[in-house]
Each structure stands twice: as structure tokens, then as C-alpha cells.
């Protein structure tokens, strides 16, 4: 077995050993690397503070279906994308680090991905188009109009693959020749809802299907809520086309706001139950009123920055702790050594090195000669 294959098996094992996402596991993997982390969990030898993982991993530690999962995946044309891969959407997922405090709110450990595109590239131009399952003809018509405009502008449509607005958005995108990303609340090999199996097959052919759950995972209520954070994270902006008084779309909208993604909503008749949620988000100034694709695009890229073919709008706002101190200690121009950074930042050299490694993975900094420099777009 090649090193690469061993590593991939470790990731696959880790993706199933606890219900994802799990902050403690992710921290452990970031510190120890996937193979050592997987081995330690299997051997039940976890150093403090990672011994907290003993409980959560107990039930599944010895169930190793990694080889089988990767085989199933390969058969379906599914790949396991990890932070070590080029198409890992590090920028998009970065904002989730600040949500680590929310249960199952942090970044995913890894993502199972199906479809021809490069996930990071597609997500760079992603706009979330979401809404009620029991949509009306009004909502479906507006979704089609919006998506048509987004595709024309080169944007990717991100949604949740559900009935109603989600499905309409994916279909309209494929129909317009655009790229769409469906983020699943179940294993990537599970068609949920099953009535959308043809749609999922079409997305797998021309777009991308993404799940943080290992193959075979069934859809469950808590997984929809967990999935919603990824729809928001993989989007530059999110629009809610229709939403009832209590709608799952409101949860995705809340994630968009928490992650600093501009949120829009399409207004609708005050007589329509399916526009109550949208009208309320607008009235409460939680969402901008969106009347068409142009308004949505300028919400996503107010200065014409970011979006298709322009690279992501990189933000360092989400940097926290040592990473923030270290990042800010590096001059805007030129390189600086880790020792100098330690002095500037008032952070120990070991911590500086750890922070630099993370910052490098996420593309904020790059090693230049013996030192480190800010990465410029």
C-alpha cells in the first residue's frame, strides 16, 4: 500500500470514527497528522487533552470500513477530499473555525466529493440559492430567473438538493449549462430524497455533490442542520427565495449571517405563507431585498471583487488567537523569520511555527527563503 493510500485510508477511517464534524478530532488530526491520529484512536492511546476523544470514538474505533468506503467511493466516482488536497475549499471553510464553539459548527474534517469540477474553484464562485421544500410556482419561477442570471455571470449555484427551491435551483442551473454544488445531509451514495436520484445523477455528471458523511450514512434531522452550515460556507452570498414561518432555510440563513456571508431574500406577497419567512428577514433587516440576479450578484460582489474568475475575496477577519497575532506580525511587504515573528507577536516560537503551518495550509502566508511572507492575491 502506497503512503498516499495509507494516508487516504486514515482520513476515511477518521471521517467515520465519530459523527462529523468533531472539533476535538479535527484538532487532534491537525496536530498529529491523519495517520498518527487514526493509529492512536485505534490503539486507544490518546494523550491529554485528546483523551477527551476516547468516549466519542469508543463505539466506532474498531470498526474500520475505510478500505471498503474508499472502494464504494471509487466505484461511484467519488473522491475523498481532505485539507491536504489542492481542491480543498480552505478559504470558504475558514470562517467555520470561528463557529467551533457551536456544536457541530466547525469545519469538516474531510469531504466526500462526486463530480467533474474542482471543488475549491467552484465554491469560489458559489452563491447559495435556497428555500422552502413546499415552494409555490412564484418561488420556482423566481428561482429560475435568478439562477439563469447567475449562470450567465459565471457563478456556481450552491444548494441542499431538497425538494422545492433547492431542487429547482439545481435543475435551473444544469439547464442553463452552469455548475451547481449539492451539499448532502447523508452519505454521498444515498439519494435523499430518493425522488431526486435522477437529479443527483445529473449533478454528479455536470456539477458537484458534496458530503462530510461517510458512504451509507442515512439522512437525519440533525444532519440537515449540520449540512446547512456547509451550504452557507461554500457560498459567497446566500439568497432565500421562499421560506415559511418555520423553514429549514431560516437555519441556513442564520449560518450565512454567522459566517459573514451577505444574505438576501426575495420578497413575496404578504398573503403567501411561503413568503412569510423572506418578508420577515427583510423587515428585520437580516436580509437584503433581492429582486433579481443583478441585485444578488452585487450583494455577493459589491465592488465587483470576488466571484467568477476573480479569485476569492480573502478575509483575515476570521483569524483568531495565535494565528491572528502571527499573521499581523508579518510585514505587508518582504519576508521575516519565525524568530522575528515570535518577538513581534509576543508568541512562543513553537506556537508561531504551528500557526504558520496552519496559515500556510489556508494560503494566508508562504515560506520565502528562510522566512515567511504574506500571500498576495
> What does the binding site for a second copy look like in residue numbers (CB under 8 A)?
138, 141-142, 266-271, 275-276, 279-280, 282-283, 288-292, 295
Nearer to a second copy, 272 or 324 (CB): 272
d(CA 51, CA 324): 28
Using the minimum distance from each CB to a second copy, give the nearer residue, 289 or 366.
Answer: 289
Least distance in angstroms from the C-beta of 174 to a second copy: 23
Q: Minimum Å distance from CB 318 to a second copy?
A: 28
Query: Cβ 145 to a second copy, closest distance in Å?
Result: 8
Read out DSSP for 22-42?
-HHHHHHHHHH-HHHHHHHHH
* CB of residue 245 to a second copy, shortest distance in Å: 12
Q: Cβ–Cβ contacts within 10 Å for residue 105, how many? A: 19
Give the shortest CB-198-to-a second copy separation in angstroms.
28
Q: How far is the CB of 24 from a second copy (least distance, A)?
A: 43
Best CA proximity match to 171, nearest among 143, 135, 194, 209: 143
Element (H, E) at 367: strand 365-368
Inter-residue contact 307 to 236 (CB < 8 Å): yes
Identify which of residues 141 and 331 has a Cβ nearer to a second copy in the complex: 141
In whole angstroms, what separates CA 194 from the centre of its chain? 23
For 191, half-sphere exposure in the C-beta direction (CA atoms, 13 angstrom radius) is: 13
Say if residue 312 is preceded by a cis peptide, omega within 30 of 0.
no
Closest distance of CB 251 from a second copy, Å: 22
- Residue whose CB is less far from a second copy, 142 or 232: 142
- What lies within 8 Å, CB to CB, of 144 at 6+ separation is 168, 172
> Smallest distance, Å, CB 254 to a second copy?
19
* C-beta of 81 vs 293, nearer to a second copy: 293
Task: Tell me the C-alpha distance between 241 and 129, whole Å.
Answer: 7
> How far is residue 138 CA from its own chain's centroid?
29
Tell me whether residue 73 or residue 263 sits nearer to a second copy (CB atom).
Answer: 263
d(CA 174, CA 5) in angstroms, rounded, equals 34
Beta bridge partners of 127: 157, 237
The smaller minimum CB distance to a second copy, of residues 134 and 344, is found at 134
Q: Which is nearer to a second copy, 292 or 348 (CB)?
A: 292
Q: How far is CA 177 from CA 114, 154, 163, 310, in A?
A: 18, 10, 21, 20
Nearest to a second copy of 289, 351 (CB atom): 289
The DSSP annotation for 121-152 comes to HHHHTEEEEE--SS--HHHHHHHHHHHHHHHH
The least CB distance from residue 135 to a second copy, in Å, is 14
The grid coordinates of residue 327 equal: 499573521
Amino acid at each position: 500500500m502506497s503512503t498516499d493510500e495509507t494516508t487516504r485510508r486514515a482520513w476515511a477511517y477518521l471521517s467515520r470514527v465519530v459523527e462529523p464534524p468533531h472539533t476535538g478530532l479535527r484538532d487532534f488530526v491537525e496536530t498529529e497528522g491523519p495517520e498518527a491520529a487514526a493509529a492512536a484512536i485505534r490503539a486507544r492511546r490518546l494523550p491529554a487533552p485528546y483523551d477527551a476523544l476516547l468516549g466519542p470514538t469508543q463505539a466506532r474505533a474498531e470498526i474500520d470500513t475505510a478500505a471498503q468506503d474508499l472502494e464504494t467511493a471509487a466505484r461511484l466516482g467519488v473522491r475523498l477530499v481532505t485539507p491536504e488536497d489542492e481542491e480543498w475549499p480552505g478559504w470558504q471553510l475558514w470562517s467555520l473555525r470561528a463557529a467551533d464553539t457551536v456544536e457541530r459548527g466547525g469545519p469538516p474534517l474531510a469531504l466526500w466529493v462526486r463530480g467533474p469540477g474542482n471543488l475549491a474553484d467552484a465554491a469560489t464562485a458559489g452563491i447559495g440559492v435556497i428555500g422552502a421544500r413546499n415552494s409555490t410556482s412564484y418561488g420556482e419561477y423566481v428561482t429560475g430567473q435568478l439562477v439563469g442570471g447567475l449562470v450567465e455571470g459565471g457563478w456556481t449555484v450552491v444548494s441542499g438538493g431538497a425538494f422545492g427551491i433547492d431542487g429547482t435551483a439545481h435543475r435551473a442551473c444544469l439547464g442553463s449549462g452552469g455548475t451547481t454544488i449539492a451539499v448532502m445531509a447523508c452519505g454521498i451514495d444515498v439519494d435523499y430524497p430518493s425522488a431526486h436520484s435522477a437529479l443527483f445523477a445529473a449533478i454528479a455528471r455536470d456539477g458537484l455533490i458534496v458530503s462530510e458523511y461517510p458512504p451509507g450514512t442515512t439522512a437525519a434531522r440533525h444532519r440537515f442542520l449540520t449540512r446547512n452550515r456547509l451550504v452557507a460556507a461554500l457560498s459567497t452570498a446566500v439568497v432565500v427565495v421562499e421560506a415559511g414561518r418555520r423553514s429549514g432555510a431560516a437555519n441556513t440563513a442564520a449560518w450565512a449571517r454567522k459566517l459573514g456571508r451577505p444574505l438576501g431574500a426575495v420578497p413575496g406577497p404578504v398573503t403567501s405563507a411561503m413568503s412569510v419567512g423572506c418578508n420577515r428577514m427583510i423587515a428585520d433587516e437580516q436580509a437584503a431585498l433581492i429582486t433579481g440576479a443583478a441585485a444578488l450578484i452585487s450583494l455577493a460582489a459589491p465592488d465587483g471583487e470576488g466571484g467568477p474568475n476573480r479569485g476569492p475575496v480573502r478575509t483575515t477577519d476570521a483569524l483568531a488567537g495565535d494565528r491572528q497575532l502571527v499573521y499581523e506580525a508579518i510585514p505587508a511587504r518582504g519576508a521575516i523569520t519565525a524568530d522575528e515573528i515570535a518577538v513581534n507577536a509576543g508568541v512562543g516560537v513553537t506556537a508561531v511555527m504551528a500557526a504558520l503551518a496552519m496559515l500556510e495550509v489556508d494560503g494566508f502566508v508562504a515560506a520565502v527563503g528562510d522566512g515567511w511572507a504574506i500571500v498576495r492575491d
